[in-house]
Every structure is written in structure tokens, then in C-alpha cells.
A and B are shown apart, each in its own frame.
Chain A
Amino acid sequence: MVELAQAVKRTNAWACYDCGKCTATCPISRAGGSYSPRRHVLASNLGHRQEIVKNGSLFSCLTCSLCDQRCPARVDYTQLVQLLRELTHGAGVEPECPHGGALQSVMRMMAKGGAQQDRLGWLDGGLKTDPAKGEVFYWTGCAMYYDAFFPDLPGSALGGTRAAIRLMNMLGVTPVVSPGERCCGHDLLWNGDRQSFEMLARHNVKLVVESGARTLVVSCAECYRTWKIDYERFFDARPPRMLHISEFLAERMAGLKPGLKAKRKVTFQDPCRLGRHLGVYEPPRQLLGAIPGVEIVEMKHSRKAAACCAGGTWTNCDRYAKQIQVERLREARATGAEVLVTACPKCRIHFGCAMKDPKLGGDISIEMKDLAEIVAAAIV
């Protein structure tokens, strides 16, 4: 655990000159919540540990990194929140998970280990994979758990996973899909539970290193961030090349020859982890643009300014989160697109949940698809 002073130093928080752009930008604060990034930065700089730790308000942050884009003093507020949450967790304050803590329990059980998960039941005979060794490791993430937990939401997280493997097979790649994979620990890390995160990180890094893979392909934007940034120090030797499925496919689009019969207008939701955290904006658009018949229309806020799905780390889902989701879906509808394409299972879950609103549902509903699903459907 890092001490407050170290956190301030490491995230540049000391450079804050109290301009308040972060709070003005913050989607929660704009939706009317009392959440204020500036207050946390100030309290950290003054060493007011108790004020930060006491009421768990830190867990309202979406960690969407929008404020970091605007900060003139280059304070890494998102990183500061991650470190402050560790302090909060150490003090015994837990986030209020809207799903009764079920998902956190699942992740902690995986961190403990001991049971052989039965996680690959969805792999059908048509998909070619290898359970242990290969050149390319395909990271499936928690898609199967999300499908089991959210059966009543439109679409399926595994739909994107299956499509990604099918596309890799078409390109002549037989990826490693391991039954030994565990949760990447993203949500636990962002809930402040570094201990469980590190147990997961060590297990997963060992698994991928032992597979002999030279490339790791990830579909989930959150897993991708975790692998690329948070796992870096767990590798003894050089880590494999890490690619998001959009980057992997965009490089190899020539080998796929997609073609759509009907014209389709689509819009793309930049997941906060893929966009602002990792700077991957173009590959998904290149990929969609390479499908004949697909027209991409951008939402009012896109790329660096894209709105977040407001539920990234399974914490504090409230009316502000709902408002952010509704506004984003209105933006998507305003483009006239038929399909909202995304590259993170959580975007689909949270927008899908917002669409279930009995009063607003009709105004904000739009078909949602994973990037890989759209590409796979276009291959004739």
C-alpha cells in the first residue's frame, strides 16, 4: 500500500492549482452529484487522510479519465483514485456494489484458487483452440460469468468472444484458450483490494508465459488495460506483444475480405479503458471502415471526449450513472445509426441495463454489438 504523500508525488497531484476543471468536466458532477475530484486532490495535498477515507465517496468516481484529459497541471487523477482507494480499502471501507457484491465474491474466490473452473463450456466444436500451448494467446476474460449473471440483458458477452475466435480461425490462427485463466483482477484493483489483485496477476502472468505465446490478444477493454499497464511489473522477462482484438484484426483485415449485403449505419462507443487509458482510437474505426456497406457516424462526444458507460468497476451505480447512460444513448440515437458498436462487455451491460427503463426505453433503445460480432457477421 502506498502512503498518501507518495500517492501525491506519484500522480502529480502536488501540481494542482485548484482551477476546478476536473470537477467541471466530471460526468458525475455534471449530472448533479456532489462528487468533486478537486476536493479529493486538495485533501490529498493537505494530507487529510480521514476526509478521503471516511465515507467511501471515492467509489463514486467512474475512473473514466475524462478529467485527466482536461487537467492543465497534468494531474493523473484516475491513478490517484486507484491509490486512494487502496488506502480506503485498508481502512475497511468497501464500495457499495449494486450487484450485492456477487461479482467481487466471484473474483476473490478466483484469487484464492483451489477449484478447477468449468469456464469453457461455451466452446463449440466449430471453434479451433488449444488449451495450453501456441503462438497466440486469446484472453477470454469474464464473459461467461457476465452471461450467467445478466441473462436478462440484450445480447451476450460470449457472442463477441466466439466471433473473435472465429475470426482468428479464419486468419489461420489457432489461439490458446486456457481453462486455467482467472479474472484479470481489474475490478478488485480499482476497488482497492491490491492483495487479491496481485494473487490473480501472478497466476495469470505465469499462465501466459508458460503457454509460450508471443502475442496476447484481448477482447475486453478492461482486461487489456490491466495486461498492458498493471501487469507490466509481474513479468520477469519480456512480455508478449499485447493487442486488442481491434488492433489484431485491423492489422490483418486484408486476409478477411468482408462484405455486407445490406448497408448498415453504425456508431462506435469508445470504452474509457481502450480510449483514454490506452489511446486506442483508430483501430476499431479502421476495422469498421474496412467493411463495405458499413457507414460509421460519430456521436457528439467521441474519441477523447467520449462519455463512459458509468459502471466500470462495479461500484456506486446511482441515479447520476443512469443519467449519464441515458444521455449517451440519446447521443447514439441522434446519429441515426442502427447499431451501437462497442469493444467492452461492460459498456454493453450498463447501456443494456439503462435501456430496460420502462419509461425511457423506447427513446433510448438501440441494438448493441461487439466489434468482433459486427466483423464476423460481415464475412460472407
Chain B
Amino acid sequence: MSAATKRVQQTAEPAPSWNPSLVVFACNWCSYAGADTAGVARLQYQPHFRIIRVMCSGRIHPGFVLRAFERGADGVLVSGCHFGDCHYIFGNHRAVEQFEKTRNIVKLLGLEDGRLRLEWISAAEGVRFAQVINEFTDQVRKLGPSPFAGKGKGGMPAGNGDESHGGTGTGG
């Protein structure tokens, strides 16, 4: 093996053999707009997630997240406005309460802590949105498929998560 190919192998990412299926809940006013900003800026990031827009992160009931896991999601990201930025003043505080409950139940079920994440992303933080998605995708990829994925009825439809060439895409 020549020195040149060795160098390439070190720098280029090997194509991952498996990509997770992720669900991202984003609030209308901040995080979803943050994803838009990332798209407008043509940022490249991993495309293995489906984004679900809700009016406020406070609406993200444990039932939403648990249903995503039930239907085979490998990871779920909950995102909303930074504290003080909430369009409805206190919605993100409510989101924290809901998220704590969800996290406790996910722990009881025996799912790894890394499959669930809460992030605050503002409308201006397109770069941060891309970063969070990349980090979270890598984190879940390391954990491997969810024990509840691909079992029984009503699984997540095959899509980005099953394409194994690790392409990148624009969000928003």
C-alpha cells in the first residue's frame, strides 16, 4: 500500500455499513427554522432523519417519542427554542418536564440513553442544526439498530436510513 493511499484512507470516512433511522421533532418557530437556515446556507449533513414539525416543543408528549421508538426509530431528537426565546413564553420549560418523563420511561424499557436527546436550536443556528444532526447520527450509528426496529407490524418505512452509501444532503 502506497503512502498516498494510506493518507487517503486516514482522511476519508469509510462508507458506513449501516445508517440509523432517526426522528427529529422540531418546533415551528426556532428549530424548524434553524433547519431551514441550514438548507438556505447549503450546509451538508447526514440525511438519515425525518423531521416532524410541531408548533411548540412543549407539545412533544412522551407518547410521540415512545411511538417513534415503537415503530422502529433508532433515535429520537427533541428540539426547541432556547430558554427565554419560546414563542409561547414557557413552552420549552414544559418540554423539559415532558422530556424528563420520557427519558425515565426509555431507561426503564432498556433503551440506551444515547438514543434520545434534547437540544435547543434557534432559527439563526443553521450551523448548529447541522452539527447536532451529524453528532446525533454518529452517536446512534455507534449504538447500532434499536432492539425494537424491524420487529412486528408498523415499522418505519425504508428510506434514508436504509441507504448504505452515506450520502449527504441539505436540510430544511
Q: Is the CB of B69 within 8 A of A109?
A: yes
Q: Mark A139-176, 1 if CB is under 8 A from B, else 0.
A: 00000110011010000000000000000000000000
Q: Is the CB of B148 within 8 A of A149?
A: no
The answer to whether B1 has its CB under 8 Å from any CB of chain A is no
Q: Is the CB of A100 within 8 A of B109?
A: no
Distance from B94 Cβ to chain A, minimum over Cβ atoms (Å) = 12
- Among A67-75, A115-123, A124-132, A263-271, the stretch that binds chain B is A115-123
Q: Is the CB of A105 within 8 A of B69?
A: yes
The answer to whether A15 has its CB under 8 Å from any CB of chain B is no
Q: Mark A312-349, 1 if CB is under 8 A from B, else 0.
A: 00000000000000000000000000000000000000
Distance from A68 Cβ to chain B, minimum over Cβ atoms (Å) = 32
Distance from A101 Cβ to chain B, minimum over Cβ atoms (Å) = 5
Residues of A in contact with B, size category: 20 to 34
The answer to whether A114 has its CB under 8 Å from any CB of chain B is yes
Q: Is the CB of B107 within 8 A of A118?
A: yes
Q: Assess A105 versus B104: contact at CB under 8 Å? Given A115-B147, A116-B110.
A: no
The answer to whether B63 has its CB under 8 Å from any CB of chain A is yes
The answer to whether B117 has its CB under 8 Å from any CB of chain A is no
Q: Mark A165-195, 1 if CB is under 8 A from B, else 0.
A: 0000000000000000000000000000000
B71, closest chain A residue (CB): A105
Q: Which residues of A contact B69 (CB under 8 A)?
A: 105, 109
Q: Which residues of B contact A112 (CB under 8 A)?
A: 70, 147-148, 151-152
Query: A-B pairs with the 7 shortest C-beta distances?
Result: A100-B63, A114-B147, A102-B63, A115-B110, A105-B66, A148-B104, A115-B147
User: What residues make up the interface of A, taking CB atoms closer than 8 Å to B?
Assistant: 97, 99-102, 105-106, 108-119, 144-145, 148-149, 151
Can you sample 7 A-B contacts with CB below 8 Å?
A: A100-B63, A101-B66, A102-B61, A109-B66, A145-B108, A149-B101, A149-B105
